[in-house]
Structure 1
Amino acid sequence: MKQESSNIRLSPEQALKKLQHYCAYSERCHQDVVNKLFELGVWKKEHDAIIAALIEESYLNEERFAKAFAGGHFRQKKWGRNKIKATLQQKQVSPYCIKAAMKEIDAAAYEQTLNELLQQKWNSLKGERNRFVKMKKTAVFLIQRGYEPELFQPLLHTIQ
């Protein structure tokens, strides 16, 4: 159950304190913080000052967030670059930060993960006898995961 009710507004100082804890717990992007400010019932005119204070105190750093997000989602969830990039864009992260985040993904590890996912999906389709149907299902799976077709298409044609 939430402590604040929607009629009670927090003072900027109270909101800053809450957001310091919120940002210290996990890396956040600016959009997450703005959403939290609305959730806490903070007046829109006070948002900029609170966000500026969080940035000055190093609680909020969009580039650090983007790098942590990209690295974590690649390693933990095995997301491809396209899905990571699209999610960061959806969170309104700047193109500069997205570019920096993409550099966090090691090319060799990316290729290895792509190969592993392709092999796992291919092997999970044992009951499917039609090679082209297996290729299509595997391709759709990899695209949904955010991998680039130009990287996995050549592998699909050589897989047994």
Structure 2
Amino acid sequence: MKDSYTVSEALQLAQNYCAYQERCHKDVEQKLKSINMIPEVILHIISQLIEGNYLNEERFAKSFARGKFSIKKWGKHKIVRELKLRDISKYNIKSALKEIDEENYFKTLDELAKKRLLQLKEKNIYKRKRKLCDYLLYRGWEPYLVYEKASELIK
């Protein structure tokens, strides 16, 4: 990277950055700050990116939710937490969660729990259940679903 960029060079850099992968406003803002752009220019570039449809928070949120659920097997709590960290609006978070098919959601929880249970070597039933619950809660699954699933699988 070079020391300074013109506004048009920074815009081009930001367009490429957004074209490579869906980004949120916060990611783009951090990228522009990292190349020492001033706040007024950052706002100008972000508005240009929105106008050019390079930047769309709803599209980002939906893509993020689909990807983290299908690839990393994250639960809705973790997805929501991560989207909030990126300053995504409640409306867009709600919209993103609709991308996750309910039937597939429960099926994924079941598969994840069963797979983890096979990996646990703990003999004590209570510790075994605790370890399974901790794992699923860490992955962002809703507590009531986690405890229900643990009770179903470990008797």
Same fold, TM-score > 0.5, yes or no: yes
In structure 1, the partner of 2:50 is 55
Match of 1:117 among 96, 104, 112: 112
Contact 1:9–1:40, Cα closer than 8 Å, also in 2: yes
Deviation of 1:152 (Å): 2.3
Q: How does 1:35-54 map to 2 (within 5 A)?
A: 35-54=30-49
Extract unaligned runs of 5+ from structure 2: none
Give the residue type in structure 2 aligned to 1:78: K
Higher mean C-alpha deviation, range 134-143 or range 115-124: 115-124
Q: How does 1:67-78 map to 2 (within 5 A)?
A: 67-78=62-73
Q: Give the alignment's Cα RMSD to 1 decimal.
A: 0.9
Match of 1:139 among 133, 138, 149: 133
In structure 1, the partner of 2:92 is 97
Give the residue type in structure 2 aligned to 1:158: E
TM-score norm. by structure 2 comes to: 0.96
What is the alpha-carbon distance in structure 2 between the residues aligned to residue 153 and residue 132 of structure 1?
Answer: 12
In structure 2, the partner of 1:158 is 152
Could you say what secondary structure the match of 2:71 adopts? Answer: helix
TM-score norm. by structure 1 comes to: 0.93
Contact 2:137–2:146, Cα closer than 8 Å, also in 1: no
Could you say what secondary structure the match of 1:77 adopts? Answer: coil
In structure 2, the partner of 1:31 is 26
**Poorly superposed stretches of 4+, deviation over 2 Å:** none
In structure 1, the partner of 2:77 is 82
Extract unaligned runs of 5+ from structure 1: none
**Identical-residue share of aligned pairs (%):** 42
Give the residue type in structure 2 aligned to 1:69: F
- Matched residue pairs, number? 154
